[in-house]
Amino acid sequence: MCLGLFILFCYFIFTNATHFNGGTIGWAPVNPYDNSTSVKITITQSYSWTYPYIKCANNVPISTSGWSGANTNLTCVVDCSTDGGYSSAPINILTDCTSTSSSLKMMTSERSKNVTLSSGAHFYLAYRGSAWVGLNDPAQQGLDWSIITYIDLRKRPDGFINTSPVAKFVSPQYAIVNKTIQINIPVSDVNAGDDVRCRWSTYTSGYRRRRRSNNEDRVEDFIDGTSIIPMSSVPVQFLIYVQSQPVCSTEPIIIPPDRCLEVQVGISISFNLSAMNLCNPSVATLTDIVVSSGITSMTHGNLTQSSTNSSIYYKTFTWTPQTNQVGSQQLCTTAYTR
């Protein structure tokens, strides 16, 4: 069997973070055609942290010295009378480190956990805490966060249990004063034909709802292009840093692989992904190529400078695809200079 591999590229110019940078929470039924009175689902939490302030280890963040008391649970915040029994056996927010970038002071973590709920459950689930980095507009310190996902296990109009869209992100994002930027948030949905839409979250007054100064995007799936009722709603919460005009504002160029990447199940493949710094190296250097949306079991090495061109840096990616990965896979990367 052969697979197609799509690679998307972005680039940012980075200059000079408290410990939590945002995240997303998604979910999926283990068996979308389950007709029993209880349904097992997988809840996946993905978060971004300031590194090495928070260590790259399992059980983030309590594995970092001084944070042993930081564990808490994902809590039901709305429609808890129909949470299918979740509140009687909640899951915690601990995740495992998946990648780091020393130059960007960024670490990502993720963990998936199974829970069993009553069929037809529908409710809002949140990770709430504090320690957002201080914001400048408006100037505020010590802000809390609330990352909320909507879970609905009622059957879709076409007869099975929905799976939420999957959103990938890099936080923080960087912008330059007086320059328009485009922030790309890769999303996907395993339910073919669903209409996936993104929107900014809006403030709604009421019980347990608070106004936020950080940025949160909502990724929602609809049964078709005419529907106005989302079947699920996934949060993507991130920070944006606005920086002054850099000495060199020319973006690096990401150089794609030199061949078509068609791979076979069980056979390992390696390839280099390179980026070129177009600034004078005395002014700015290429500091990292960050994976914003990875492929399960794909690994990569450290950033390496080319031996033939000092402006080019690369990372070597290695992957052995598995049977359950047959089909198109998406890898998204971002290049940074400083």
The pTM assigned to this predicted structure is 0.80
Is omega for the bond preceding 90 within 30 degrees of 0, making it cis? no
Return the closest-CA partner of residue 169 out of 11, 337, 24: 24
Instruction: Note the pLDDT tens digit of each residue in 252-266.
Output: 999 977 767 788 999
Q: Where are the alpha helices (DSSP H) in 31-125?
A: none
Taking residues 134-140, report their average pLDDT. 65
Indicate if the pLDDT at residue 184 is higher than 50: yes
Return the closest-CA partner of residue 212 out of 177, 239, 187, 230: 239
User: Rounded CA gap, 184 and 171, in Å?
Assistant: 12
Taking residues 212-230, report their average pLDDT. 82
- Specify whether domain 2-9+250-337 bears CATH 1.10.260: no
Indicate if the pLDDT at residue 172 is higher than 60: yes
78, with CB counted inside 10 A (0-12, 13-18, 19+), is middle
User: Looking at the chain, which residues constitute the CATH 2.60.40 domain(s)?
Assistant: 2-9+250-337
Q: Which residue has the higher pLDDT, 319 or 183?
A: 319
Q: Beta partners for 10? A: 334
Q: How far apart are the first and last CA of the chain?
A: 42
**Mean of all residue pLDDT scores within the chain:** 85
